Amino acid sequence: MDSNAVLQKIKDRNQSFGEWAFKLIVPIVFIGLCGIGYHFSELPFIFVLNEVIIRLARNSFLVISLIIPVIAGMGLNFGIVLGAMAGQIALIFIANYSLEGLGGLLIAVLVSTPVAIVFGYLVGLVLNKAKGKEMITSMILGFFANGLYQLVFLLFAGTIIPFKKEGLLLSTGVGLRNSVDLAGVRYALDDIYKYRPDAFPMLTIPVVTLLVVALLCVTLTFFTKTKLGQEMRAVGQNMHIAQVAGINVDRTRIMAVIISTVLAAWGQIIFLQNIGTLNTYGSHEQVGLFAVASLLIGGASVSKATYKQALLGTFLFHMLFIISPMAGQNIMNDSQIGEFFRVFVAYGVIGLALLLHAWQSKGKKQSLKSS
């Protein structure tokens, strides 16, 4: 092998390593931040591990619900807020009828599904009119839907919509209370089976909840190999070519949004059964932001995402949630610094991802022009 071939091989290897490092720069940075934060937080390892496992179990389903629209080329679906609203509507329904336990939780899942399908269909119709601007459109739709949601439960609850259970409405008899107690279904899924290792009694692993998340990951893997999954991939790669190939692009995109919205509804139910309390007017507001931030921290992009990235990002993002207050307290003598840092991270990583996406898109267009 001559020297030129050797140099070219080294150059190609360095280039591939550089591309690999560039793709993983965000998770690498956050792994470093988590390591530094953990060191300065001085929290016990078992405590941090237990909290991370609990948060991974209750948040992963919501984050994974973002993946299908990314595959279909629609970017990051901030519209999962509407799915979260559908889940909350179902939980309010079972609270009103005092449905409890795993049975009550399953009824909430059944009630939320048709509501989420309707919401997803409407969102899909709007996003088909805003091709190329899906992310900002879905974000604005979330704000708009939040206004309607508040209108329904502030003005229509107790007047147009009857409530039979005492304590759900405000003292005036109109409008839902700010907080709805979900004690009847609290830990309904988590408590089916919790594993507590003898060596670490402080560690509690909600096995069934994690199995549900694992089942979703396996289902997602098989779904991408189905006809509909392949059509979504084709639409995501190039809508024009997909349409020429006979794929109904608009219908496929609507299906992607519907699936994402339904999964978000189920994910919100899983999340709130772990919390045990529903903040009627606030529980859904940050769902889109935190789920998107978690996905991006795992190394996903606007155009490519996997469940592995979703799980890694959820782990890293929520580990920062756990350690940052104590790290801020120990470093700056102010735990609020950690809170500010978490908010900065959530918005900053989304802004960085959009910037990188615009940069990569510009680079691709220039390379196409030059070729």
Q: What is the DSSP code string of 353-371?
A: HHHHHHHHHHHHHHHHHH-
pLDDT digits (tens, 9 = 90+) for 295-308: 988 888 888 899 99
The answer to whether 234 touches 245, Cβ cutoff 8 Å, is: yes
For CA atoms 224, 259, 263, 184, give the dihedral sign.
Answer: negative
Q: State the average pLDDT over residues 67-86.
A: 93
From 261, 4, 233, select the one nearest 122 (Cα to Cα): 261
Statement: residue 44 has pLDDT above 80: yes
- The listed range with the strongest mean pLDDT (113-127, 191-205, 278-292, 351-365) is 113-127
Radius of gyration from C-alpha coordinates of the chain = 22
What residues are paired with 194 via a beta bridge? 206
How far apart are the C-alpha atoms of 106 and 99, rounded to whole Å?
10
Statement: residue 370 has pLDDT above 60: no
Angle, vertex CA 220, rays to CA 228 and CA 185, nearest 5: 120
What residues are paired with 161 via a beta bridge? 157
Question: Which range, of 114-118, 211-215, 266-270, 283-287, averages the lowest pLDDT?
Answer: 283-287
Instruction: With both helix axes pointing from N to C terminus, report the angle between 25-41 and 307-332 in degrees, rounded to the nearest 10.
Output: 40
The answer to whether 292 touches 313, Cβ cutoff 8 Å, is: no
- The listed range with the strongest mean pLDDT (28-37, 230-239, 331-340) is 230-239
Question: Which range, of 85-94, 332-341, 358-367, averages the lowest pLDDT?
Answer: 358-367
Q: Which pLDDT score, from 0 to 100, does residue 25 have?
A: 78
Print the SS3 string covering 275-297.
HCEEECCCCCCCHHHHHHHHHHH
What residues are paired with 179 via a beta bridge? 279
Statement: residue 30 has pLDDT above 60: yes
- Tokens 């006979």 — which residue? 246
Tokens of 226: 């189905």
Q: Which pLDDT score, from 0 to 100, does residue 303 have?
A: 81
pLDDT digits (tens, 9 = 90+) for 158-205: 889 888 888 899 988 899 999 999 989 999 999 999 999 888 888 999
How far apart are the C-alpha atoms of 105 and 110, rounded to whole Å?
9
What's phi and psi for 157, nearest 5 deg? -70, 120
Q: Which pLDDT score, from 0 to 100, does residue 358 have?
A: 63
What's phi and psi for 174, nearest 5 deg? -125, 130
pLDDT digits (tens, 9 = 90+) for 272-302: 999 999 999 988 988 988 898 889 888 888 8
Q: Which pLDDT score, from 0 to 100, does residue 366 have?
A: 56
